[in-house]
Structure 1
Amino acid sequence: MTFSICVRETYETDDGETHDRFGVAVTTRLPGVGALCPFVSDDGAVATQSLVNVDLGERGLAYVEDGLAVDDALEALLNADDGAAQRQVHGVDRERTFAFSGDDCVGWFGHEERDHFTVAGNMLTDGGVLEATADRYAETAVHETTDPSSGPGAVRDDVETDPLAQRLIDALAAGDVVGGDKREELTIQSAAVVVETTEDHDWEPPYNDLRVDASETPLEDLQATYDRAVAGYEETLAKYADAFEADSLDAVDG
């Protein structure tokens, strides 16, 4: 029903601080995927799909936040799930990745784990959807690797990059272009992107948690929503920067 991407990026801010950020982006030919699939915190990211078991996302992420490795957390939950053969779940934490596709998922289905991100999908036109999604994200990934010469995924300190939410939307769009979800008879679709970071902001960017719940053009609408959210964020900071810095409405002019 779905294809999605879960990522972890380690990056350095201008003041020399090192932070982690996690994100999930997902789209499907059903409404409301943002309420069911993506689970993200500043400790990890999990996506649950196929015959969705929300518990895998909620409890899996909770276990990660409690210090359990993402693979141990999700494997334990799957082992206790009688419907595991129909599930698809994948995710990342600060050190590991995990991906699982049950044997009873509907084809085409599959998953892929790379250095610091995972992709998975089912009811797709073919495996090229995941390959295109993964490759598009890897082209612009910002992440420390043990071998910066290893190709996509190396640190890009000298290159201006878009925010992670934008790059995840781009990755979904690349997968959709080559086929996406194969059920063309279903016109109502949805998409979502969620990003969390260990970095503090005076006001959390609203473009890091966006959903299009029912649309015939979900990725186009998600991109348009993102663009408006970025513009609104910049306008808000320009008008209320003093209030945010002082954490006081007394600094608001008019």
Structure 2
Amino acid sequence: MTFSICVRERYLDEEGDEQIRFGVAVTTRLPGVGTLCPFASENGAVATQSLVNVELGRKGVEYLDDGLAVADALDALLNADDGSAQRQLHGVDRNGEFAFSGEECKPWFGDIMGENYTVAGNLLTGESVIEATAAAYEEASPPADPAEDVERPLADRLIEALAAGNAEGGDKREELPVQSAALLVCSTEDRAIDPYYDDLRVDATETPIEDLRETYQQAKRGFEMALERYEDAYDEDELDTE
């Protein structure tokens, strides 16, 4: 019912220290996908889909937070799941990638593991959906050197990746007009304020990608305006912002 992407990116913060950000984005021809499929923390990102078992995502991220490698964590959860043949589960941690598509998922289904990312989908118009999603992310992703980061926020680039997959046909169930989309980005960086645009959902609409992009643009605008206003207030009141 879904296609999604999980990514890992290394970058340098303003102090020159290496950090890692994780992102996951998903869309489907059903409402409320943001409540079911995408999970992330400062240790990784996971997407659970097809016949969804939400606990695979929740526990998957919990296991990553406990220090398990993504392949060990997700494989262990699947081995304990009687319905694993109908699941799709994929994700990334600080050092690796994992992707699984059960043999009983509805066609077309499949997954891709690339360097620093995974993509998976089911009930799609074809393999080109996840190929286009992966290609769009690769084209906009940062270089291997953490010092050479990209200017566009990861949330923006995740939406672009979903849009590329959707342009290839996306979810094939055209008889279901009510759709949804969501994204979630987390980072190892200790930020005073997390960007408002790093955790967004569009729960019920007929144009999920377009609406998610508009929501992102408004959230980014609001975040920048809030920063400007509060920075002025700190200066005027001589407050310690640490």
Same fold (TM over 0.5): yes
> Which letter maps to 1:27?
T
Q: What is the alpha-carbon distance in structure 2 between the residues aligned to residue 36 and residue 91 of structure 1?
A: 15
Change (3 A) 1:160 1:54: closer
Residue 200 of structure 1, CA deviation: 2.2
Is 2:206 aligned against 1:206? Answer: no
Structure 2: runs of 5 or more not aligned? none
- SS of equivalent to 1:64: helix
> Which letter maps to 2:161?
A
1:164: which partner in 2?
A: 154
Aligned pairs (5 A) from 1:69-148: 69-142=69-142, 144=144
Is 2:167 aligned against 1:184? Answer: no
Q: What is the alpha-carbon distance in structure 1 between the residues aligned to residue 146 and residue 231 of structure 2?
A: 31
- 1:201-236: per-residue Cα shift (whole Å, max 9, x none)? 221101000000000001100000000000000100
Contact kept? 1:10, 1:143, Cα under 8 Å: no
Choose the corresponding residue for 1:215, options 205, 217, 220.
205
Residue 243 of structure 1, CA deviation: 5.4
- 1:97-137: per-residue Cα shift (whole Å, max 9, x none)? 00000000000000010111000000000000000000000
- SS of equivalent to 1:103: coil
> Which letter maps to 2:2?
T
- 1:127-183: per-residue Cα shift (whole Å, max 9, x none)? 000000000000111253xxxxxxxxx6672x7531000000000000000110000
Is 2:52 aligned against 1:52? Answer: yes
Query: How many residues are matched?
Result: 239
Q: What is the alpha-carbon distance in structure 2 between the residues aligned to residue 245 and residue 30 of structure 1?
A: 47
Residue 241 of structure 1, CA deviation: 1.6
Residue 199 of structure 1, CA deviation: 1.2
Contact kept? 1:11, 1:143, Cα under 8 Å: no
1:28: which partner in 2?
A: 28
Structure 1: runs of 5 or more not aligned? 145-153
Percent of aligned pairs sharing the same letter: 60
1:148: which partner in 2?
A: none
TM-score by length of 1: 0.90
TM-score by length of 2: 0.94
Residue 250 of structure 1, CA deviation: 8.9
Contact kept? 1:22, 1:42, Cα under 8 Å: yes
> Which letter maps to 1:64?
L
